[in-house]
A and B are shown apart, each in its own frame.
Chain A
């Protein structure tokens, strides 16, 4: 499982854009990395991981697993030992010390901030579901649906391999956002992720405003 910020990092290691990365290396709507026929991750080679410097959080955490409930509370568990895995795992130390040793701090921070946006999305969807507050008069809805569901709709990708959301493609979504705002596209990964979060926050602000949710304190985020 990979998030858009992790796709950005891996794409930069490979020297490609996120649009190309999603087309070449992602699966299941852009939320997982592709696997070889034997189940190995597409980036695992005899000499190691091809994207190790920017490997995703799930790889950094292993053998721990992490889940977050709807209130944002995190839980860590230990995966059962995998016979195929050559990694050595012990039970000495604490979860905190293990996380620190794997350099997961920034990844957990990004994940939490995307989680805040996720909870706002669920709030919006619940509101829309409850009140049917969406405009159904668009004559070209089917075409728009296809476009809304894929940020790379014109790339000829197979449906299962197209991203579920254009927001998963950070380069494409920020190209559009920065062009509309007349601002430069950041070059550093951290700056790019921060701007991606800001762009998404503004997108949600706009919808919440139109639905009258903006003044209800439904936005706990303090993204900058």
Chain B
């Protein structure tokens, strides 16, 4: 955690550590940050909503009515998959005590 050599700004390692720490704190403490980018709903097909998104950051938000209760980021490996595969989709299922309650459908990672 010491200083870097003269002439350097911030190293890639420090940026990664900074980003990892910010991500951990964001989730750990429930800090909300308005940097997510969304898109428009393009249409529906067979009950599946397709969203046009820029997969730079993805969050799941939990509401009670209009009140935001919690917000959590997608796991990094899911986000990487979404960023790298144009055919990737995210399926949202709601379970209670291990039993499927409802399948809320798929979101396509079209960019």
Contact = CB atoms under 8 A, between A and B. Distances in A.
B1 A115 contact: no
Given A39-B98, A135-B10, A30 B32 contact: no
Interface string B7-31: 0111111111111111111111111
B30 A144 contact: no
Contacts of A159: 77
A208 B102 CA distance: 47
B30 A134 contact: no
A188 interface: no
Contacts of A168: 21, 24, 28
Nearest to A84: B97
Interface string A69-84: 1100000011110001
B61 to A, nearest CB: 10
Interface size class, chain A: 35 or more
A203 B1 contact: yes
B70 interface: yes
Given A122-B33, A133-B9, A145-B12, A67 B25 contact: no
B10 A177 contact: no
B11 A177 contact: no
A165 B24 contact: yes
A69 B32 contact: yes
B27 A28 contact: yes
Residue from B15, B32, B76 with most neighbouring chain A CB atoms (10 Å): B15
A134 B20 contact: no
A118 B16 contact: no
Contact of A180 (B2, B23, B69): B2
Contacts of A17: none
A135 B11 contact: yes
Contacts of A95: none
27 contacts: A28-B27, A29-B23, A30-B24, A65-B30, A67-B30, A68-B31, A77-B67, A111-B29, A124-B18, A128-B10, A134-B9, A138-B11, A145-B16, A147-B13, A148-B13, A148-B17, A148-B20, A167-B17, A167-B21, A168-B21, A168-B24, A177-B1, A203-B1, A207-B10, A210-B8, A210-B9, A211-B9
Interface of A: 1-4, 28-32, 37-39, 65-70, 77-80, 84, 111, 114-115, 117-118, 121-122, 124-125, 128, 133-136, 138, 141, 144-145, 147-149, 159-160, 163-168, 173, 176-177, 180, 199, 202-203, 206-207, 210-211
Interface of B: 1-4, 8-35, 64, 67-72, 75-77, 97-98
